[in-house]
Amino acid sequence: MYRYRSRRTVPPGRQVVRGVAEASGASPGSTGVAVGVGQPSRPARPTLEMVAAAAGVSRGTASRALNGEPNVSSRAVDAVIRAAAELGYRPNLTARSLVLGRSDSVALVISESDQRLFTDPFFAAMMRTVHRELSAASTQLVLALARGDREREQLVRFAAGRHLDGVLLISLRDGDPMPAELERAGIPVVTAGRGTVPVETEQSSGTNAPGCWVDVDNRGGARAAVEHLTGLGRREIVTIAGPQDMSPGRDRMLGWTDALAAAGLPARATSVVFGDFTEVSGYIAMRDLLHRLPTIDAVFAASDLMALGALRALRMAGRRVPQDVAVVGFEDAPAARLADPPLTTVRQPVDELGKLMVRILLARIRGESTVDGQVVLSTELVRRSSA
């Protein structure tokens, strides 16, 4: 009797029977291996029916218990959760989304250039807050960039395909059609700021109507900053303003104008240079203002990054801060505390902004009618060494 073991590699999962050559008197040329064509049997995936049976409840009760719906006794909920854990049950999310008409996903859409997106700490802070709030609500965050017509159209098509339950929009420009297009597609929207024009539809009413937003008191915060400068006795107060097609840029410039008027000071066009909220634009604007008005004794910058650029330009021009020129920014970014000198600025509640945007959007998705869809948050002047 001839003994033979094959060295042939057998694909994983195939059934192998050894010793065939031993039993049949096979010749030395035989393989000695019989390979079964069938796959090893797999345990059936636990179903909702199996969970219900194990818990001793109906399928409907098991479904309501797992979805956290009301009108299910705590005893039944405990039994269903215990049975699901013991069986290793996992819900079919695709089927669930089809039944409920929801994807459990929300997009945070940023309409901004790469330069500002990756250098301005405001966006990182917003992403952290939004992610935290959505995770607590068992909702997936989808981050999207919409910086032109093509990207905007792609986003609207994606959302209209029911891949998203709602959209959070930040850094919008005036006249951006995206909020209206999303609302027409039946996608709830909440924006940061008021720089959008509501669209009227027959279905729109109450809090489900377009125009839900959360904003900070940009005008009041800027007014407080400039009033602080006038209170220090400064009289040649210029501003590095933000883009005027964005509500923060426009409102902060209005606050500068308000405070000058209250102090009996003129708001001259030559006292304004526009930036784009970046440090580079603040540096360029400050150099321009020093050339125009050598007697400047204070500057209000509409963002901390622009204020940091202004500090650099003043230092290079030999101007001392705050002795020669006082500087105030807006936002209270981490870099404001590390500036030389530390920057006096207006603190905006970024964490609260993101938190409220998420909560309003989730309430709209659930169809709640009591949510306040338009909120303005207070700001705070933070005094440091620059003014």
Same domain for 173 and 244: no
* Residue at which a domain ends, from 33, 56, 91: 91
Confidence of residue 13 (pLDDT cuts 50, 70, 90): very low
Give 111's contacts (C-beta < 8 A, 6+ positions apart): 145, 146, 147, 152, 169, 170, 171, 172, 173, 176, 178
pTM: 0.73
75 and 168 both lie in a single domain: no
* Pair 132, 200 in one domain: yes
Any domain includes 27: no
Ranges assigned E (strand) in the chain? 15-18, 33-36, 105-110, 140-145, 166-170, 189-192, 213-216, 237-241, 272-274, 298-301, 326-331, 344-347, 374-377, 380-382
Give residue 191's domain range: 105-216+351-379
**Has residue 25 been placed in a domain?**
no
Residue 83 sits in a domain of what CATH number? Answer: 1.10.260.40
Mean pLDDT of the chain: 84
CA–CA dist 365, 188 (Å, integer): 7
Instruction: Give the mean pLDDT of 219-229.
Output: 99
Tell me the pLDDT tens digit for each residue of 20-50: 333 444 444 444 444 444 455 556 788 889 9
Closest Cα partner for 227 from 253, 251, 260, 252? Answer: 260
* Euclidean distance between CA atoms 15 and 113, whole angstroms: 58
Does residue 32 lie in a domain region?
A: no
**Residue 53: predicted pLDDT:** 94
Highest mean pLDDT among 173-187, 207-221, 331-345: 331-345
Digit-coded pLDDT (tens) for 338-375? 999 999 999 999 999 999 999 999 999 988 876 678 89
282: in domain:
yes
**pLDDT by residue (tens digit) across 226-244?**
999 999 999 999 999 999 9
* pLDDT score, position 189: 95
pLDDT value of position 370:
64
User: Are 358 and 212 within one domain?
Assistant: yes
Q: What would the pLDDT profile of 281-292 be if each residue is shown by its tens digit?
A: 999 999 999 999
Same domain, 237 and 332: yes
